[in-house]
A and B are shown apart, each in its own frame.
Chain A
């Protein structure tokens, strides 16, 4: 969504294109509903490419703050896990 406003199905396509094919499975709608309820996204209706008007989502100012915090926390967690796993040597018997 940070890359540009998108509607529900469009987001699942973006996720699929980025290697996360299963994220959208049924969970994208409740998730968007929660973000909207929490004021983390703004919505508007606009015509899609030749299709009916769709509900587009984009991050709200509060959503951008939450995104920045979330990304920071995720990277910190990822680095910590990487540091632990760096010393792990896996030998596979052939």
Chain B
């Protein structure tokens, strides 16, 4: 069974469990397994199905002690993609707000009709119109920031649960 304990040690090291804590858990586990063996209790009886999966066992134990993230809890830091998305949304929001505040340029989407058949197309035109690009940008940025807030709150909740 020392192999089981050794695999647990490796997993704790991989997960970044503080060394004194890993040593303590390994020592307790080894002592229990030795005592069980001396009394004729097999490792399977003591550890059940987890005896075949020391990595999961080790990860679960460390997570319950609150020293590592629960299995499947994601990475340790803030997700980079979420940071980038939030930053991009914030930049777009600021740009849209500045454009609206300064009034330059006055861009808008307008529908034009060309030819006798009445076919139409949308063009960006420097003029004041009903659908200025700045307002569209602002709306998109606000929606994106709202989505980012929701993602951050979900991330925060998953982080809390991981350490419970």
Residue ranges of A at the interface with B (Cβ–Cβ < 8 Å): 7-9, 12, 22, 24-27, 29-31, 33-34, 36-37, 48, 51-52, 54-55
Contact = CB atoms under 8 A, between A and B. Distances in A.
B129 interface: no
B19 to A, nearest CB: 17
A34 B46 contact: no
Most interface-central of A9, A25, A54, A55 (chain B CB within 10 A): A9
Nearest to B47: A26
Interface residues of B, number: 25
Contacts of B25: 29
Given A22-B48, A37-B66, A8 B57 contact: no
Interface of B: 24-25, 27-29, 31-32, 34-36, 45-51, 57, 60-66
A83 B6 CA distance: 50
Contact of B64 (A9, A33, A52): A33
Given A7-B28, A55-B28, A12 B46 contact: yes
